[in-house]
Structure 1
């Protein structure tokens, strides 16, 4: 499934104001969260919108060396690091990842 695809799912349980049997559209990268609450109906359809925040974002400036670790996490995720990996990484690891990633793009 491509980024930006949506999947139609039929609810099997009540969810907010929706009842079992109602069909909803779910971003393709969120389908795993609906397992047990809904069943996939049909094939994924392009929505025309990206569901990846970094794909829609413009260039993010590199944080200062003294910036807080949260700023470095945001920057590393913007460069392509998985959020789960960024959450576990130290500030130094995030800075090293940023340096390696941006060095490759300058070459």
Structure 2
């Protein structure tokens, strides 16, 4: 490597007053110091999505009983969708809305 060799890198985090997306020239022998802050220019930036294959046909676990009142909202979402709430609605619903849905649905089943 000759003196003056540089590598162009695209920042992925703020560094030295530069913003993510800015291109910087880094001495080739200093690239290792920029790992985690930048990627080689022209490289694709990590998407943050998992590259591990998943089994799309694997069913969601079905809860067997209504969650406790102090259970986390995710448990209420899972239960509400298992008894008929639309998944899109459940994702947007608050814990109180989920509990109201469950109460209304289970009240009809008990009558």
Bin of the TM-score, shorter chain as denominator length:
0.3 to 0.5
Q: Which has the higher contact order (CA 8 A, sep 6+)?
A: 1
More strand by share: 1
